[in-house]
Amino acid sequence: MTSGLSLTVLVDNITITDRYFLGEPGLSYLLTTAGKKILFDCGYSGIFLENARKMGIGLRDLDYVVLSHGHLDHTGGLVPLVRDLTEARIENIPCRVPEVVAHTRCFYPKRKTPLQNIGSILDEAEVRRQFPVNLSDQPVWITEDLVFLGEIPRKFSFEQVNPGNRKVVLPDGATRPDLMLDDSALAFRSSAGLVIITGCSHAGVCTITEYAREIFGEERVTAIVGGLHLLKADPKRLKQTGEYLRELSLDALFAGHCTSLQAKIILAKYSPLQETGVGTTLEWNGKDQ
């Protein structure tokens, strides 16, 4: 029997009515499975720490911090996390320094005119000073049934968006159009099928899902949770995305963060859309439960 998965939303654009938490345009989830405690993204600021405290959740015993990609609304919370762990050590309060798992390009600077960097405030060198780090283009198995997908091969042309004025700064100082090759996701194998956990889905939610199915050798997908990066998607793309999701026969679609109201309304015609926001806790049984 394998362990199930619990996912709690610590940061999202939306908060749940009558739950007094903070929201921001960012994303952070706390996952627990197989005795491991994983922070998936850490939002833009330190509110993931404050929301966790209000929920009675401690974050000084994390095993992993997994970053979906390098944008500041998913990595900005690294700074307050470093500060919190530093203060704990100063006061001799027990804490664990988590391992950071991300794509090899996660900490490359990202320019978007007129901003010089919309990427992580902490560069790779400083992250390595503060944490053990595993940067990988390949899948990284967090547990037997939870995997960081690494670099996701782009499959569906309708999900590929012109990067416009977004540029990535390479280690030699050269700049290239930012195709968001560092965008990744998590996938969990539950008893009902795969659970896909996304940050922003810059790679495309359909593309991400197909790659997860390939890695696990599992066709069934029970749920998708996270940002779908459907803020200004045209009707044709929304229709194609909806048709793909309908074929999955999901039990639930938890679309959050970078998913517009229009996109949610349209996708709800194809898939069982469920409300999600800060304070939401979701659970799935392990594959043999």
Domains and CATH numbers, the chain: 5-284 (3.60.15.10)
Environment class of residue 55 by beta-carbon count within 10 Å: exposed (0-12), middle (13-18) or buried (19+)?
middle
Radius of gyration of the chain (CA): 18
State the pLDDT at residue 212: 98
DSSP-based three-state secondary structure for 266: helix
Q: Does the bond joining 235 to the residue before it have cis omega, within 30 degrees of 0?
A: no
Distance CA 98, CA 114 (A): 34
Query: What does the pLDDT profile of the chain (289 residues) look like in tens digits?
Result: 578 999 999 999 999 999 999 999 999 999 999 999 999 999 999 999 999 999 999 999 999 999 999 999 999 999 999 999 999 999 999 999 999 999 999 999 999 999 999 999 999 999 999 999 999 999 999 999 999 999 999 999 999 988 999 999 999 999 999 999 999 999 999 999 999 999 999 999 999 999 999 999 999 999 999 999 999 999 999 999 999 999 999 999 999 999 999 999 999 999 999 999 999 999 999 987 6
DSSP-based three-state secondary structure for 283: strand
Q: How large is the greatest C-alpha to C-alpha distance in the chain, in angstroms?
A: 56
Distance CA 85, CA 81 (A): 6
For residue 52, what are its two tokens?
A: 């966790």
Contact (Cβ atoms closer than 8 angstroms) between residue 109 and residue 115? no
DSSP-based three-state secondary structure for 273: strand
Whether the full predicted model's pTM is greater than 0.85, yes or no, is yes
Between the two ends of the chain, the Cα-to-Cα distance in Å is 6
Local structure of residue 47 (DSSP, 8 states): H
Distance CA 39, CA 81 (A): 11
State the pLDDT at residue 224: 98
Contact (Cβ atoms closer than 8 angstroms) between residue 255 and residue 235? no
State the pLDDT at residue 289: 63
Contact (Cβ atoms closer than 8 angstroms) between residue 67 and residue 41? yes
Distance CA 287, CA 187 (A): 13
CA-based nearest residue to 10, from 18, 26, 265, 1: 26
State the pLDDT at residue 288: 77
For residue 125, what are its two tokens?
A: 């060198």
